[in-house]
Amino acid sequence: MTTRVKELMLALDDYATVQSDATLREALVALSKAQLGLTYDRHHHRAVLVLDRGGKVVGKLTHWAMLRSLEPSFFGEADHEALSRSNLSQEFIHSLESRFAGLRRDLGATCREAARVRVEDAMVPVRESIDEEAELSEAIRKMVLGHCQSVLVSRQGEVVGILRLSDVFEEVADMIRGTTPGTR
């Protein structure tokens, strides 16, 4: 029996979503509300899907993205690469960052500021999806190669749901537990 992506995906209606101009506070409220609607056999959501004004998914606000917005780095990854190529020592680069990191020591004040951050400024843009009729093995390959916690699911080019790593893992674990060692 072949498992299809649509058998494990969560429909968009069952997932936390916010508009791209919402604040992080509004996104977290939406996430809390969506968690309440889960049945006992479903894992908690680990992201909020971000919608544009037309209702299309344009990004994911992951746990990591939310936490990263608390301490926006003085240097981004591209800046680190450029500075490393410029023959500056790693110690000097780290000393620059540490000078600016001290500006945000009070977590309460940082969280109050973060509550007003726009989702579009913290989200991870998404451009790829997998068709709902694809085999689960294809989704696993895509998730493993991309180190993804989730992948959007589409039907005729329109996003209709999300496939989460936790649900894929449970399905695969059930398959493994159901096999007899040494048989094919």
Which 8-state DSSP code applies to residue 22? S
pTM of the model: 0.74
**Residue 124 confidence (pLDDT) above 60:** yes
Which DSSP helix (H) or strand (E) runs through 125? strand 124-125
SS3 for 6-46 is: HHHCEEHHHCCEEECCCEHHHHHHHHHHHHHCCCCCCCCCC
156 sits in the region (left: phi over 0; alpha: psi -120 to 50; else beta) called left
Which 8-state DSSP code applies to residue 42? S
pLDDT at residue 47 in the model: 86
**Residue 65 confidence (pLDDT) above 60:** yes
pLDDT band at 101 (very low <50, low <70, confident <90, very high): low
Percent over 70 (pLDDT), the chain: 77
Cβ-in-10-Å burial (0-12, 13-18, 19+) of 140 comes to middle
CB atoms within 10 A of CB 176: 9
**Residue 176 confidence (pLDDT) above 70:** yes
Q: How is residue 7 written in tokens?
A: 């058998």
Distance between CA atoms of residues 98 and 114, nearest Å: 20
Domains and CATH numbers, the chain: 5-67+117-177 (3.10.580.10), 74-113 (no CATH)
